Structure 1
Amino acid sequence: MNALELKGISKSFGRNQVLFGVDFALRPGEIHAIMGENGAGKSTLMNIVYGNLKPDGGEIYINGQKTAINHVLDAQNLGICFVHQEIALCQDATVAENIFMSQIGRGGKYNLKTLAAKAKEILDPLSSKPIDPYEIVERLPISSQQVVEIAKAISNNCRILILDEPTSSLSGAEAEALHQMIHRLRENGIGIIYISHRMSDIFEQCDRVSVLRDGHMVATYNVSEVSVQQLVNDMAGREVDMLYPEKAADLHREESNVVLDVRGLEDAAGKFHEINFRLYQGEVLGFAGLLGAGRSEIMKGIVGLRKLKGGEVLFQGKNIVGMRTKDIFDSGLVMLPEDRKKQGLFLDMNIRQNTVATYLSEITKNGIIDRKKERELTQSRIERMNIRCVGSDQIVRSLSGGNQQKVLVAKTLAKKPEIVIMDEPTRGVDVGAKAEIHRLLRDLTHEGVSVILVSSELNEVIGMCDRVELIDGSGTIVKEVLGDEINSDTIMYYISDAYRYEQSNREVSINE
């Protein structure tokens, strides 16, 4: 008997039909992946299961019994829990209060000390770094907030657990801890729906995988019997070249081609130290480091979004430290931020308004917006980024997470920059969209634009970057690699601080 079975589920938003007679089955005690390009209907389908949306047609069965799920509370009472891709925690409450929010919300008094003790029991197996149950959620990094989201779901005695991109903001150790927890839940008979664009997660953690394309369920496979290429082709509905674009053959690393020169950059809060590097015209320079190493903080320091203790950032012949971020962007050095929801997009505005927001001066005259230029600029970016939408007037919040990311890329590149810093540009996007973004970045370098790429995906760093700066746990660049040295062994050796222990052991041997 299936823990969950969907038969003929359909759903439309106005004239836009997003699900067409979808069938799906989840067995008890299995991890069943759902894959699909951004906008394929994955989130809509899961929101129907969780009671956030009502289907226009079809039937839902729980343990063989036909069931109506009209509200989220109905789903929760049936043991269905949903961890969304976007963080949905109460930011000004403690970790413990968030984990047990549903119990608190039913009224009556509660003892925070008791809640904190229970929260700790759930959190400790999940996180490699202790998370204080008394800490206010707003003060936690994104990775820790994701762990709290998962702990919140686990606390609700769930029998069906939906995980939407659960490892997108987690470090390797946190992801491993999560996977161990998921497998323990599976052993206890809990059925897990695992939505992810990461092939490694699918093939290493899941039992079966189903593929959605344009609102249709096109295939279901045993993971052991399907190839990566088959899944990619099923998602796209065509043959997709998964190779990274060819790297630059000759970068001409000469003094005359230096476009950015960072010297002795020091963070006022001590997050990074003595950052020195040069960026050359037309190259992709990668920054690799474990979560918390300070990669994003370095980028924010460069564009004036973080207070510095010292150092210089030389761009266009002058030191831009102390300049306003807007002036830095206007001069041709732009940045795509890591957190699209808080730092990148106006979620309640439409695609058109978001795309032109940073460069209104390009489409205005005497303070009046030229609507024709605005439409033309937006439409060209929608087409270039292949944003799935009903039109440029669609509200960004209503887009899938991956299409929101595409809008953010379009917004960042609405005006051709001289240098673009891309902080996790492909987080939460499907393999087809990743390939599009990778090609776009390489095309920019062919046009003379220089790119700084910050990514937690090692394959992306290896496949895209011409050079890579390696940052260790202390927030210091300890090695620069290029050519054949850009490989996983070398990168992990330095960013994991393994080189320190080998050096320490060598010193001990010499002293002996």
Structure 2
Amino acid sequence: MTAIMEMRGITKTFPGVKALDDVNLVVQPGEIHAICGENGAGKSTLMKVLSGVYPHGSYDGEILFEGQPMAFRGIQDSEDKGIIIIHQELALVPFLSIAENIFLGNEVAKNGHIDWPETYKRTADVLAKVGLREPANIPVGKLGVGKQQLVEIAKALSKRVKLLILDEPTASLQENDSETLLNLMLEFKAQGITSIIISHKLNEIRRVADTVTVVRDGRTVSTMSAPFSEEQIIRQMVGRDMNSRFPDRVPNIGKLLMEVDNWSIRHPEHAERMVVRDVSFRVHAGEIVGIAGLMGAGRTEVAMSVFGQSYGIKTAGTVKMDGVEVDTSNVRRAVAAGLAYVTEDRKGLGLILDDPIIRNTTLSALPKVSRNGVLDTGAERQVAEDYRKAMAIRTPGVFQKVMNLSGGNQQKVVLSKWLFTDPKVLILDEPTRGIDVGAKFEIYTIINDLAAQGRGVVVISSEMPELLGLCDRIYVMNEGAFVGELAREDASQERIMSMIVKGKEEHHGRVA
């Protein structure tokens, strides 16, 4: 069988860094080919070479597509051949509608004018394929990050596709939406469409991939055909066996640190809609508390509003720290009260990507490295260096821009930023989203260390195994309300989902 695509001897160098070193990749027609590796291994760089993001001449090696040598000068060249890439970073215009985003640069026109009826018809068709039930005229910026990812996928499907490249397509998706996408990939395979998927979710790789190629330190180290185990993939990725996905921990739970009572929030634009309804929870010193729930359950809205980020209109509720009611109506007051919040969107809201590690690390508590209102650059550098070592941030130095770090190292910088405020309670929203299995273990170790220091930690995660592996207690949330609470020894994926389903039934029963 002739390969649909071959990459031979691909080498790509950036200033001071060899990102790819003689990489070879062969993809067969109609297969789903997975590329796995730790953050910084070169997976995304390899796909950017293939899709023309890095044009011919900026790398060494050869690309063949359908048996013919290719010299792509840009994305348009690769798309003209039927190679469509969905990048890990969303490439949507927030103020344009779903339909406008899907056909941006690929407009449906008649007699020199956009044919809006046909545009909306085609939009409805591709939205149905990805399972997104939203009006085509809604601005993309009104959607959550998970639904925006589905718009990106729909945008790719609107084009003529022979080879579909998906870079972390389910990183921002809930389980149901991920299931929809994986089923779509299998449908595409049945239709003869070839796919390449990059993902850290190895259970998804095992489910859909026919072949997996593992990249480590810019080199291809192995290619395996199904069936393969997660343990085999991990061993090739990290170069060693990992006997456990979670570090060992013996909880030492102490005094009550934080109490949130009867917390209620209305939607910022639709005041008649309650996004958080009468939520109450507790966090103790040394305790890791989880919040589980499906997309749209209100988990992030609780975290953001408690941290003073003005999500919605607060109608009721109190926050106590060490038994004393505190004001968390804005971020400054929340930080002063001893709270910290690590956002799920580290690149959009957690970091200033164009700034170096040193500036991002101290940004949340600049007075601590200032004298008489003037920044003490020596003290700032020492703080950044201390956190770089404590967090094991892999970087040549603290003046490196955070945009050039891997996802796991970026997350460590975000954690450093908020730890510098010396919080009593940290709320971590999707702390390992888009991070590889090796880096996840490091983040889990940091979370355990924070609890061992006597801090309270709240973990919001869409990955139930993560919550079950980390947390001492788990609150289950559905449609803006807590519908259950489970101790570690009583928690399971089945029990959590049962609580969500029952909570949904009870909620709809009340409405009816």
Which of 440, 451, 455 in structure 1 is aligned with 2:446? 440
Give the structure 1 partner of residue 239 of structure 2: 237
Q: Is 1:282–1:445's contact at 8 Å kept on the other side of the alignment?
A: yes
Q: 1:119 to 1:502 in 2, by over 3 A?
A: closer
Secondary structure of the corresponding residue to residue 52 of structure 1: coil
The alpha carbon displacement at 1:341 in A equals: 2.5
Q: How does 1:12-411 map to 2 (within 5 A)?
A: 12-54=13-55, 55-104=58-107, 108-127=112-131, 129-224=132-227, 226-252=228-254, 257-269=255-267, 270-305=274-309, 306=311, 307-321=313-327, 323-411=329-417
Structure 1: segments with no counterpart, 5+ residues:
505-512
CA distance in 2, matches of 1:156, 1:212: 29
Shift of 1:249: 4.1
Say if 1:146 and 1:177 are closer, same or farther in 2 by CA, change over 3 A.
Answer: same
Q: Which runs of 5+ in 2 are unaligned?
A: 268-273
Match of 1:476 in 2: 481
Matched-pair contact (CA < 8 Å) for 1:39–1:388: no
Q: Residue 314 of structure 1 aligns to a residue in which SS?
A: strand
Q: Which moved more, 1:413-422 or 1:112-121?
A: 413-422
TM-score of the aligned structures, taking structure 1 as reference length:
0.93
Does the CA-based 8 Å contact 2:256-2:322 persist in structure 1?
no
C-alpha distance in 2, partners of 1:402/1:393? 18
SS at match of 2:317: strand
Counterpart of 2:303, as a letter, is M
Q: Which moved more, 1:384-393 or 1:50-59?
A: 384-393
Asked if the contact 2:82/2:162 (under 8 Å) is kept, the reply is yes
Q: Which residue of 1 aligns with 2:270?
A: none
Shift of 1:63: 0.9
| TM-aligned CA deviation for residue 495 of structure 1 | 1.8
* Structure 2 counterpart of 1:509: none
- How far has the Cα of 1:502 moved from its partner? 13
State which drifts further: 404-413 or 341-350.
Answer: 404-413
User: Deviation above 4 Å: which 4+ runs of structure 1?
Assistant: 501-504
Distance 1:99 1:318 in 2: 50
Q: Secondary structure at the match of 2:130?
A: coil
Q: What SS is found at the alignment partner of 1:463? A: helix
Residue number among 423, 429, 440 corresponding to 2:429 in the alignment: 423
Structure 2 counterpart of 1:6: 7
Query: In angstroms, what is the RMSD of aligned CA positions?
Result: 2.1
What percentage of aligned pairs have identical amino acids?
Answer: 36
User: Bigger shift: 239-248 or 433-442?
Assistant: 239-248
The CA deviation string for residues 218-239 of structure 1, in whole angstroms up to 9 with x for no partner, is: 1111130x32222212211233
Aligned to 1:309, what secondary structure does the other structure show?
strand
TM-score, with structure 2 as normaliser = 0.93
Residue 510 of structure 1 corresponds to: none
- Residue deviations 1:311-336 (CA, integer Å, cap 9, x gap): 11112443334542112213321010
Cα distance in 1 between the residues matched to 2:161 and 2:417: 40
Residues 493, 499 of structure 1: 8 Å contact kept: no
Q: What is the DSSP-based 3-state SS (H/G/I as helix, E as strand, rest coil) of the residue aligned with 2:39?
A: coil
- Is residue 471–residue 488 contact of structure 2 (8 Å, CA) maintained in 1? no
Q: Does 235-244 or 90-99 show the bigger shift?
A: 235-244
Q: Distance in 2 between matches of 1:250 and 1:402?
A: 27
Offset at residue 179 of structure 1 (A): 1.4
- Following superposition, the deviation at residue 395 of structure 1 comes to 2.0
Structure 1: distance between partners of 2:436 and 2:386:
21
Bigger CA drift: 231-240 or 191-200?
231-240
Q: Deviations over 1:332-391 (max 9, x none)?
A: 210101111222111221222111111112211122222232222222323333333343
Count of aligned positions: 497
Query: How far apart are residue 199 of structure 1 and its match?
Result: 1.1
Structure 2: how far apart are the matches of 1:404 and 1:249?
A: 27
Amino acid aligned to 2:265: D
